[in-house]
Structure 1
Amino acid sequence: MFYREYPPHPALAAHVECVWAARAPGFAHAHRVLPDNCVDILWQDAGQPGFAVGMMSSAILVASEQSVRTLAVRFKPGMARLFLATPLHAITDQRADIDLLWGRSDADRLADALWEGDASERQRLAIIERELLRRLRAAIAAATPRGAALVQQALRALEGSGGALRVEELAAQLSVSRQHLAAQFRQHVGLSPKMFARICRFRAATAAIRTTPTPEWAQLALDCGYFDQSHLIHDFQALTATTPERFHFSNHRVA
């Protein structure tokens, strides 16, 4: 499967992680998508409407029966709500057609522009970026959603700690209650602070496993913010339905 990421337009860089393109092979296949603390919007040339994929609390298996081209944008944590104008907990662990979020007229106009003519991949992605810039300007002209600044502070603290910062400590640092922080996360992120931190640790662990030929599991667990190896195994089973050892084998097996 072909997959490539591009840096976003500079004016979108504070909000967008990347724009990306993928092409699935022309035969039946499936691939596993892991939780990454991001929200994506995808457009595909298979005739279906564009759709947003909300924050994920576990891995999903994506199956395809035919060749499909995908163009997409991946938002930074806590930033998608500016562009989707909906509380993000409403689409957690599910997808929502973009015509329901943006209106059918705008959604159809964008879809038509994306797939017409012989434009290059990067030119098609630039069409998405222009629409995002238009929506960003409109969002900025309106009022910034309440709680957005607080959530961004919390996200920076959680990511900076690798997910090791306890939610009680985080709430105390921000001078808010744990309940208020959780409510704002539901609106702006789509996950609870605890689940967001859990996925931060999980992402650190998957990155370490991919780059370590022979992991020392107890030490890797501690390095990634887990209490012990059992804690690491428990999270992998919950988030991927597999073990760290099997995940390691699948990423290091010799073809």
Structure 2
Amino acid sequence: MRLRTASTEALLRRFTSETTHPAYAAMLEVGRAQRTVFLDRWLRDRDLRRETESGLNVVENYNGVNDYIKFGKRGELASNRREEQELGMLCLHILQSALGLINTLMIQDTLALPEWENVLTDADRRGLTPLFHTNMTPYGEIPGARCRRGVGDTVGVEYVSRVPRPPLDGLIDDLYYLEGAPPYARLTLPPMPSALLILNLGAPFRIRAGTDIETAEYADGCVVTMPTRAFEFGYPPETRSVGVHVKPWGLAPFLPMPAAELCDRPVTVEQVWGRPAIAELRDRLATADGPHEMLTLLEEELMRRLCETAGLGLVRHTSSLIAATSGAVAIGGLSVAAGVSSTHLAQRFKELIGVTPKRLARTYRFAATVFAINPAGPIDWGDLAGGAGYFDQAHFGHEFRAFTGLTPTRYVEVRRRFLREHPGHVMDGWPLPAD
């Protein structure tokens, strides 16, 4: 203590069994005095209060991102071993640092645009932070403005995607451009917590929305609200399209009908926005100068069609709570927290998303479980099912077949086939070969 080299933990460990020791009591009194002095300074010093609040905001953002990324089981370190705890924390820090880097680059790119040159004041810039996750989904990747061409694959596919500007970014995960030869003529898309809008610029493609439904052809494109069953997409030898990966609630402001009417019933874009408007938009997209201009045209069209939607705030907030827990949330408590009845909440969900809160939670849990599977290594299905919150392995297997039509082991076999035959393909990650 005299040399000031003893750590606080080392000192306190000496008094764990004798908290009445005079030295320990003296340190407690010194601590109280220091807190009192700091509180007095804080009350009379406005600059210190501002500094403290700004620091607390940073810490709260930091903790909020940690909670969102999560680690271990249910956001807690699952092991009592110090080495494993340190490894878990280091992995969490790497993930958060990666997210902070990506967000910093996105902020820099945005502020470099001419339209933002004189918009923000110095105070606004001081309030900027890279510790946000509204552009992130716990079941997928953070889309950035990038272009990939079939990395590691013998088949050339060009894929460009970017996040739209506000307020569309609260409704849409990303806008994308896709051109090239698909890896398989038919691909199965298991249901996920996302909707889809496609504007087709090439040969027609086909969709079969379930084994009991006939395959339909789509020439102009399609609108797919959040599905509850696996869809089968049939592609031509060469495909070309622009599209939108939409958050579960994100299609509602662009639809003239309740989302429940389209649940598991894909429709053409013409049926939603009208033939003349779609024909004119497709002509402009087809003559655009490259993928980035196409995405700008699509973004402008979405901004023009954006409209106020009753109940969207309620559904978006509740859906975000479900997403933050990967579906592991008490559904009954959501309506209580929102201050509405469970019937009213379910009705709003069906109108704007097409499914109930319980169904959305099931889909988020399934998606999080699938992304936790590493097909390249051994899989402990019991541990995976327990970590995802399923009652037992039988419950997990039943849910897996309901969502994909496959057993978990068969799913891994199909996923491994995709990885083996088309390593690094831009479409790898969710679609499965149906051939």
TM-score, normalization by structure 1: 0.89
Counterparts of residues 14-33 of structure 1 (less than 5 Å)? 14-23=170-179, 25=181, 29-33=185-189
Question: Which protein, 1 or 2, shows the higher relative CO under an 8 Å CA cutoff with sep ≥ 6?
Answer: 1
Contact between 1:55 and 1:91, CA under 8 Å: does it hold in 2?
Answer: no
Question: Partner residue of 1:209?
Answer: 373
Counterparts of residues 78-93 of structure 1 (less than 5 Å)? 78-93=249-264
Higher Cα Rg: structure 1 or 2? 2
2:272 paired with 1:101: yes
RMSD of Structure 2 on Structure 1 (CA): 2.1
2:284 paired with 1:127: no
What is the CA distance between 1:26 and its match in structure 2?
7.8
Instruction: Determine the C-alpha separation between the residues in 1 that align with 2:163 and 2:278.
Output: 21
Contact between 2:203 and 2:236, CA under 8 Å: does it hold in 1?
Answer: no
Letter in 1 for 2:404: T
Contact between 2:199 and 2:269, CA under 8 Å: does it hold in 1?
Answer: no
Counterparts of residues 43-122 of structure 1 (less than 5 Å)? 43-44=199-200, 45-46=202-203, 48-116=219-287, 119-122=289-292
Instruction: Determine the C-alpha separation between the residues in 2 that align with 1:10 and 1:39.
Output: 19
Instruction: Determine the C-alpha separation between the residues in 2 that align with 1:79 and 1:201.
Output: 20
Letter in 1 for 2:235: S
Residues 90, 24 of structure 1: alpha-carbon distance in 2 compared, 3 angstrom cutoff: farther
Instruction: Determine the C-alpha separation between the residues in 1 that align with 2:160 and 2:380.
Output: 31
- Select 1:34's aligned residue among 190, 194, 198: 190
Contact between 1:57 and 1:93, CA under 8 Å: does it hold in 2?
Answer: yes
What is the CA distance between 1:211 and its match in structure 2?
6.2
SS at match of 1:95: coil
What is the CA distance between 1:5 and its match in structure 2?
5.2
Question: Partner residue of 2:387?
Answer: 223
What is the CA distance between 1:4 and its match in structure 2?
3.0
Instruction: Determine the C-alpha separation between the residues in 1 that align with 2:225 and 2:311.
Output: 19
Letter in 2 for 1:157: L
Instruction: Determine the C-alpha separation between the residues in 1 that align with 2:375 and 2:405.
Output: 21
Residues 100, 61 of structure 1: alpha-carbon distance in 2 compared, 3 angstrom cutoff: closer
What is the CA distance between 1:85 and its match in structure 2?
3.2
What is the CA distance between 1:67 and its match in structure 2?
1.7
Instruction: Determine the C-alpha separation between the residues in 1 that align with 2:234 and 2:222.
Output: 16
User: Structure 2: which 5+ residue stretches go unaligned?
Assistant: 1-154, 205-218, 422-435
Letter in 1 for 2:192: D
The structure whose residues are more often strand, as a share, is 1
Contact between 1:27 and 1:66, CA under 8 Å: does it hold in 2?
Answer: no
SS at match of 2:177: strand
What is the CA distance between 1:73 and its match in structure 2?
0.8
Percent sequence identity is: 27
- TM-superposition CA deviations, 1:37-71 (whole Å, max 9, x none): 21211111226223211221011111124322121
Instruction: Determine the C-alpha separation between the residues in 2 that align with 1:57 and 1:165.
Output: 19
Residues 229, 28 of structure 1: alpha-carbon distance in 2 compared, 3 angstrom cutoff: closer
Residues 212, 176 of structure 1: alpha-carbon distance in 2 compared, 3 angstrom cutoff: farther
Residues 23, 232 of structure 1: alpha-carbon distance in 2 compared, 3 angstrom cutoff: farther
Letter in 2 for 1:167: I
- TM-superposition CA deviations, 1:118-175 (whole Å, max 9, x none): x212222221111111122xx1xxxx32221111121011111211113212222222
Instruction: Determine the C-alpha separation between the residues in 2 that align with 1:247 and 1:211.
Output: 9
Contact between 1:210 and 1:252, CA under 8 Å: does it hold in 2?
Answer: no
Contact between 2:177 and 2:241, CA under 8 Å: does it hold in 1?
Answer: yes
Residues 59, 188 of structure 1: alpha-carbon distance in 2 compared, 3 angstrom cutoff: same
SS at match of 1:82: helix
236-245 vs 39-48, greater mean Cα deviation: 39-48
TM-score, normalization by structure 2: 0.54
Instruction: Determine the C-alpha separation between the residues in 1 that align with 2:378 and 2:274.
Output: 51
Question: Partner residue of 1:198?
Answer: 362
Instruction: Determine the C-alpha separation between the residues in 2 that align with 1:189 and 1:126.
Output: 26
